[in-house]
């Protein structure tokens, strides 16, 4: 390998050796000439450096002769050393400050989990002021602190404060999840403030829902905004989406709200004479548990003139609401259904009261008396029972007893009202 290396070196340096003279003296002169020229060009620079050094020594010499001068010179050296050190360690210092801010942010979250909101708010405020301390691990630290402060203000009812913290968030470059939180907080605060135009607020909410189509909170906010303008059918459609996106813990509640919204939309369509929309709402209600579908079907049949079918539909719900609807229908249209059929289609104890009233209207006084007595024994002296029994007794001709029961019903209603107010 050495022979090969020497051979390659001889081949590469052959042109240079061919140009150099054969005399060793001339050869060295030719090599030293460029070096001398370079030194000649650098001589003024060298002289300048030497003069500057001499000037510095002359300036320092008087300072070194006095105590004050030596102390001042020492302080200057320390200051210069600190500046140089800070310059050289600038990146590490920035990293250190960023990690300190990140640690304070984590402490604020821990305080929030411990329900110490005052301490959490103080720490988040300190992090929010460190705008230049951006840790490499989490560049959006300050924006996150601003959002958490806005949420704390919103939870405490300070809507203006929440909007102030939201306004400090720099949106460009914000991570997706923080942008989602920003949109949520802005819409929630604007809706509670009631200062923005409803059309503008709804437009912004729809744009947010279009951007974050799987967000449960944004869909709830949009539903609340639409509900404020009274579009019941649109509210029902949005609540269906809310129910679909709801977490498992909120599924039952959102399902109950969906049933109420569908029922309200169906009743509104029925009042407006739009039977097709009402049937669509009933079809969707039938897929949900609860009496709402049967009640809406009964209203639809009653509007179409099928009173017996309406009673059957109300009775199939086997609910207090259905019983109230039957009582109202029979009060307006007595005798539309036989007592036996009424008891069959609505097998509830409260139906005995309605049967007693129907029997009394038909003149079957003994049967009405027995049904009323049996209902009073099973249901107890509630205000509703007393009121219906008073009507039955009045139909039976017992005005004095009916008046006493009516007074008892009023007293119980007042007692229940005072109890509800006190609770």
Would you state the pLDDT for residue 50? Answer: 75
Quick one: which H or E segment has residue 397? none
**Could you tell me where the DSSP H helices lie in 20-66?**
24-64
Q: Check pLDDT > 60 for residue 1.
A: no
Rounded CA-CA distance 77/27 in Å is 51
- 90-113 vs 141-155: helix crossing angle, rounded to 10: 20
Q: pLDDT band for 303, please (50, 70, 90 cuts).
A: confident
Residue 395: other Cβ atoms inside 10 A = 20
Distances (CA, A) of 108 to 82, 127, 134, 138, 163: 33, 9, 17, 15, 21
**Count of Cβ atoms closer than 10 Å to residue 249 Cβ:** 7
Q: For 251-273, b where at least 16 C-beta lie within 10 A, e where not — what string?
A: eeebbebbbebbbbbbbbbbeee
pTM of the model: 0.68
Nearest-angstrom CA–CA distance, 207 and 400: 67
* Predicted local confidence at residue 383, as pLDDT: 61
Q: Tell me which residue of 360, 344, 349, 302 sits closest to 323, measured CA to CA.
A: 349
Task: Tell me how far apart the alpha carbons of residues 204 and 189 are, in angstroms, rounded to a whole number.
Answer: 13
Give tens-digit pLDDT for 69-99. Answer: 778 878 888 898 888 887 777 778 788 888 8
Residues whose CB falls within 8 Å of the CB of residue 350, separated by 6 or more in sequence, listed in order: 320, 323, 375, 379
Q: End-to-end alpha-carbon separation of the chain, Å? A: 103
What confidence score (pLDDT) does residue 205 get?
Answer: 92
Which ranges of 116-250 would DSSP assign to H, the alpha helix? 117-129, 141-155, 159-167, 176-193, 198-211, 216-228, 232-245
pLDDT one-digit tens code per residue, 260-281: 999 999 999 988 888 888 889 9
Nearest CA to 182 out of 193, 197, 161, 167 is that of 167
> Residue 413 pLDDT > 60, yes or no?
no
pLDDT at 120 over 80: yes
Query: Distance between CA 300 and CA 270 in Å, rounded?
Result: 7
Q: Is the pLDDT of residue 403 over 70?
A: no
Residues 137-152 have pLDDT tens digits of 888 899 999 999 999 9
Instruction: Name the least confident of 21-30, 82-91, 220-229, 285-294.
Output: 21-30
pLDDT tens digits, one per residue of 276-300: 888 899 899 888 888 888 888 888 8
Residue 311 near residue 332, CB atoms below 8 Å: no
- What distance in Å separates the CA atoms of residue 297 and residue 279, rounded to the nearest whole number? 8
Highest mean pLDDT among 195-199, 322-326, 330-334: 195-199
Number of H helices, E strands in the chain: 21, 0
| CATH class (in words) of the domain with range 95-167 | mainly alpha
> Residue 258: what pLDDT?
93
Domain regions of the chain by residue span: 95-167, 365-423
């Amino acid at each position: 390998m050495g022979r090969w290396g020497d051979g390659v070196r001889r081949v590469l340096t052959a042109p240079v050796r061919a140009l150099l003279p054969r005399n060793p003296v001339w050869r060295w002169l030719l090599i030293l000439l460029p070096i001398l020229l370079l030194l000649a060009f650098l001589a003024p620079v060298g002289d300048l450096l030497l003069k500057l050094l001499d000037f510095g020594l002359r300036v320092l010499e008087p300072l070194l002769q006095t105590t004050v001068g030596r102390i001042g010179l020492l302080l200057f050296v320390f200051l210069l050393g600190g500046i140089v050190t800070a310059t050289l360690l600038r990146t590490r210092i920035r990293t250190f400050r960023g990690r300190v801010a990140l640690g304070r942010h984590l402490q604020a979250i821990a305080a929030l989990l411990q329900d110490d909101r005052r301490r959490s708010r103080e720490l988040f405020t300190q992090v929010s002021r460190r705008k230049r301390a951006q840790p490499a691990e989490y560049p959006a630290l300050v924006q996150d602190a601003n959002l958490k402060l806005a949420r704390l203000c919103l939870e405490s009812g300070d809507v203006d404060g929440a909007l102030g913290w939201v306004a400090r968030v720099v949106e460009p470059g914000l991570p997706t999840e923080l942008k989602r939180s920003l949109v949520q907080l802005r819409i929630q605060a604007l809706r509670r403030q009631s200062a923005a135009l409803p059309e503008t607020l709804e437009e912004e909410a729809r744009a947010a829902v279009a951007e974050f189509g799987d967000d449960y909170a944004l869909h709830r906010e949009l539903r609340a905004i639409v509900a404020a303008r009274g579009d019941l059918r649109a509210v029902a459609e949005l609540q269906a989406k809310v129910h679909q996106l709801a977490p498992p813990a909120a599924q039952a509640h959102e399902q109950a709200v969906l049933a109420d919204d569908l029922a309200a939309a169906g009743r509104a369509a029925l009042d407006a004479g739009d039977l097709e929309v009402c049937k669509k709402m009933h079809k969707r209600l039938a897929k949900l548990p609860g009496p709402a579908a049967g009640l809406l079907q009964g209203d639809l049949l009653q509007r179409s003139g099928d009173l017996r079918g309406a009673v059957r539909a109300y009775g199939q719900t086997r609910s207090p609401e259905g019983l109230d609807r039957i009582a109202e229908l029979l009060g307006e249209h007595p005798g539309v259904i036989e007592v036996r059929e009424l008891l069959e289609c609505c097998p509830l104890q409260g139906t005995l009261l309605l049967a007693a009233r129907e029997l009394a209207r038909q003149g079957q006084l003994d049967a009405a008396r027995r049904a009323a007595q049996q209902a009073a024994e099973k249901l107890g002296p509630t205000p509703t029972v007393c009121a219906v029994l008073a009507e039955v007794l009045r139909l039976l001709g017992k005005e004095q007893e009916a008046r006493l029961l009516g007074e008892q019903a009023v007293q119980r209603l007042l007692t229940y009202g005072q109890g509800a107010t006190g609770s």
